[in-house]
Amino acid sequence: MHELGIMIHIVDQIEEIAKTQHLQHIDTLVLEVGELSGIVPHYLENVYPMAVENSILQHSKLQIHVIPGKVLCRDCHHVFHLVTPQQACPKCQGNNHKLISGQEFNIKEIVAY
Amino acid sequence: MEQLKVIEIQKNVYAKNDEEAAKVRAEVKQKGVYLMNLMSSPGSGKTTTLVRTIQHLKEKLNIGIIEADIDSDVDAKTIATTGAKVIQLHTGGMCHLDANMTRQGLDILETDGLDLVVLENIGNLVCPASFDTGATLNVMILSVPEGDDKPLKYPKMFKVVDVLLINKLDAIGYFDFDLNAVIERAKALNPNIVIFPMSAKLNQGIDAWCDWLEHAVKSSR
Ligand SMILES: Nc1nc2c(ncn2[C@@H]2O[C@H](COP(=O)(O)OP(=O)(O)O)[C@@H](O)[C@H]2O)c(=O)[nH]1
Ligand SMILES: [Mg+2]
Ligand SMILES: [Zn+2]
């Protein structure tokens, strides 16, 4: 349900871009979703057909690039893969990290004419 | 057949709404209206708290309410009994309000002469946290029956709000709800969060919250 509202919001933005750039057909929509963004790619895929109905994206494909959650440990400078927000550094057990990636939720590109 | 090409967009999904929200914020400020966005899960007590808040502040402030909680006008009718100006937005199954819908609501309400406008957002702790409405103040309600682990499950909401109202304190004896743990968890996520424990039903704790709100509205002018 939440993904549907967000997907409709994305479709509206693409329709606007298609209008200003005089596009006639969109083949693929590419999104970037970070592992720590709170957005679940699987649900976006599920709601896609419903969200694009009667829009310029109606027969398009959805491609999702997942961006891994990566953090830098401020204590020992180790870079590691963060899966849940509360997770200690595997090297020094420290809890003082800086987020490098994983919170993205972007409209990356469209393939169109 | 025309040639397919890759068109780079590289834009955050929420960026466009954020731009609109910034405009709404500037517009209400210019009109001298203090816009508050009230969020929670369904049934946490948004409407009940609003009724209490209006009763408490109606002699001091001109208040308008934009109801978006559900696709009917039950809540709007409840609010109307207080004498406050109220409209019902029909959001057609959407799970959040965005800045454009908020502007529509403000236009329909007609905010001339109002000091405070409250948006009762759609009951949901997920999407409203990501969609800025353009409000001056963001408030959430967490009620006792929902459990004290909510800050761990919905960290984004606790990070974006200015105020947390902890409601249904009258029911705390029936639930495994650790009030101090909630306060600690909320402050870990958001050190500046202002917290008011209350029971909207028993009209307890409403004074402190309303005094704070009245001061916030008046000092924003
Ligand atoms: N026990 C108790 N019930 C409350 C309190 N505040 C609201 N309720 C009840 O919770 C239910 C949902 O309240 P409502 O204000 O409609 O919630 P909303 O969906 O967030 O607007 C109603 O039955 C209210 O009477 C409270 O402080 N204590
Ligand atoms: Mg309600
Ligand atoms: Zn480390």
* Domain presence at residue B82: yes
Q: For residue B20, how many C-alpha atoms fall within 13 Å in the half-sphere facing its CB?
A: 17
For residue B82, what is the domain's CATH number?
3.40.50.300
Picking from B139, B145, B168, B148, the residue whose alpha carbon sits closest to that of residue B37 is B139
Give CA–CA dist A62/B93, Å, rounded.
23
* Domain presence at residue B3: no
Largest CA distance in chain B: 70
Nearest by CB to A10, from B4, B13, B156: name it.
B13
For residue A95, what is the domain's CATH number?
3.30.2320.80
ipTM (interface predicted TM): 0.84
**Which of B37, B75, B201 to probe ligand 1 with, by most ligand atoms within 8 A of CB?**
B201
CA of B81 relative to ligand 3 center, distance in Å: 59
The domain in which residue A96 lies consists of 3-112
For residue A106, give the chain B residue with the closest CA.
B12
- pLDDT-derived band at A1, boundaries 50, 70, 90: low
- Looking at the DSSP bridge assignments, the partners of residue B165 are B141, B196
The per-residue pLDDT for A2 is 74
B76-123 pLDDT per residue, tens: 889 999 999 999 998 777 788 999 999 999 999 999 999 999 999 999
The per-residue pLDDT for B211 is 98
* Domain presence at residue B166: yes
The per-residue pLDDT for B75 is 86
A34-59 pLDDT per residue, tens: 998 888 899 999 999 999 999 999 99
* Residue A99 in contact with partner chain B when CB distance is under 8 A: no
Give CA–CA dist B39/B46, Å, rounded.
7
Collect all residues of chain A within an 8 Å Cβ-Cβ radius of residue B124.
Answer: 2
- Determine whether the interchain pair A5/B9 forms a contact, defined as Cβ–Cβ distance below 8 Å: no
- Determine whether the interchain pair B11/A111 forms a contact, defined as Cβ–Cβ distance below 8 Å: no
**Measured in Å, how far apart are chain A's first and last C-alpha atoms?**
31
What is the residue-averaged pLDDT of chain B? 94
User: Domains in chain B: how many in total?
Assistant: 1
Q: How many CB atoms lie within 10 A of CB B11?
A: 13
The per-residue pLDDT for B106 is 98
What number is the average pLDDT over the span B145-159?
Answer: 93
* Domain presence at residue B92: yes
User: Domains in chain A: how many in total?
Assistant: 1
* Domain presence at residue B1: no
pTM comes to: 0.89
The domain in which residue B142 lies consists of 9-219
B40-85 pLDDT per residue, tens: 999 999 999 999 999 999 999 999 999 997 656 788 889 999 999 9
* Residue A100 in contact with partner chain B when CB distance is under 8 A: no
Residue B1 pLDDT greater than 70, yes or no: no
- Determine whether the interchain pair A2/B127 forms a contact, defined as Cβ–Cβ distance below 8 Å: yes
